Chain A
Amino acid sequence: MTLRLNLFTLLLILFSANIGAKELPRGLIHLDNSLAKNFIVSDYDGKQYELKSSKGKWVFLHFWASWCGPCRKEMPILYKLQKQLAGKPIDIVLINTAEDEDTIFSFLGTVAPDLHSYMDKDGALTEIWAPRGLPTTFFIDPQGRKRFLALGGRAWDEPLYQDFISALLKSK
């Protein structure tokens, strides 16, 4: 049993290493594979999300704010991505940095009405994750390790990024 588990782990690492070895699309960088610390956030309806609930799936963890120009531009693309990846082994988790319900609600209403976001009400979670700026996306692998970071807003609907995400999903 232990041997089987180890073999499974080894295979996972090999698959993961394969993504890591490939050249990343522009604006994505490798992270240090450290374990992501668990957190809980809520949306404006009080619905909670806990990072560890995504274990076994990739997590597309995206920090944003309404005052950030590139965030505004990226939102419709994120909405398309959220629809496209529904049911796939990846959770798209948007976290607004330090804004109130009204601001988030009215902002999303104008740029992507059906896009769902959680709230980091006082900005403390964003401080812990320390994105390089807003927006920033972290990719967390199914084992809960921080694998990649997307610098700023990205055109996720372009083939380069679509291929990257497809490769992630195949790698498990």
Chain B
Amino acid sequence: MLIQLTVITLCPTAVFAKQNDRPGYENSEFRISLFPRTVNQTIAFYTGRGFPSVALEELKPMCFITIGVSNKGKERVWFDLNDWHFKSTHGEGTRRLRPEWTQRWNEIGLEKRFQSTFRWTLMPEKMGLYAYEGEGGNITLLRTDKPITITGTIRVGNDKSRRFPFSINNVLCARDE
């Protein structure tokens, strides 16, 4: 399970072809895939990296969704998570951002090496993907049992001139059976 999680996190292209039933969005320019993680999956991953229990407790109320964005062509593909919205029937979903995580980790005295590992497993906030490049990582929302709609815009081209709005509906935080 750990290997599967890491492969999905860092090599989304390897997984896309296998799991077409996953929520996502695809057009001729790019592909977005989502992999909601259960609490057990998330805790298992970070336990495997040696995270202390006090840090693991911080992760439990959160809904981890691994996102993969893949450039299908030769033009650059740009994403900026600031342009993305995560809405449930309760309104805007609360995404915990990198500075908030850093603040919390510092408050509990989490070692720098664990903070570094955690940051590397988060989705970059913004990036311009090169030809055929894929990038993946987690976004963290406050856990909810309501369906979430993710909307946003991807820009394509060296000058970012082509805009592609997208919407992904009915994304659910994964639950352990």
Contact = CB atoms under 8 A, between A and B. Distances in A.
Interface of A: 26-27, 29, 65, 67-72, 97-100, 103, 121-124, 126-127, 132-134, 151-153
Q: Taking chain A's interface residues, is the majority helix, strand, or loop, or is none over half, making it mixed?
A: loop
A27 B133 CA distance: 7
B112 A27 contact: no
Looking at chain B's contact residues, the main secondary structure is helix
20 contacts: A26-B132, A67-B48, A69-B8, A69-B10, A70-B11, A97-B120, A98-B113, A99-B117, A100-B50, A100-B113, A121-B113, A122-B113, A123-B112, A123-B113, A123-B117, A123-B119, A132-B135, A133-B124, A151-B133, A152-B11
Contacts of B127: 132
A42 B143 CA distance: 41
Interface residues of B, number: 33
A67 B6 contact: yes
Contacts of B112: 98, 122-124
Contacts of A69: 3, 6-11, 14
B117 A29 contact: no
B20 interface: no
Given A68-B6, A69-B10, 10 more contacts: A67-B2, A67-B48, A69-B7, A99-B49, A99-B117, A122-B113, A123-B120, A133-B135, A133-B137, A152-B10
A14 to B, nearest CB: 27
Interface of B: 2-3, 6-11, 14, 45, 48-50, 111-117, 119-121, 124, 127, 130-137
B130 A151 contact: yes
A121 to B, nearest CB: 6
Nearest to A123: B116
Q: Which 7 residue pairs across A and B have the least CB separation, nearest first?
A: A123-B116, A69-B7, A98-B116, A122-B112, A98-B113, A69-B6, A70-B11
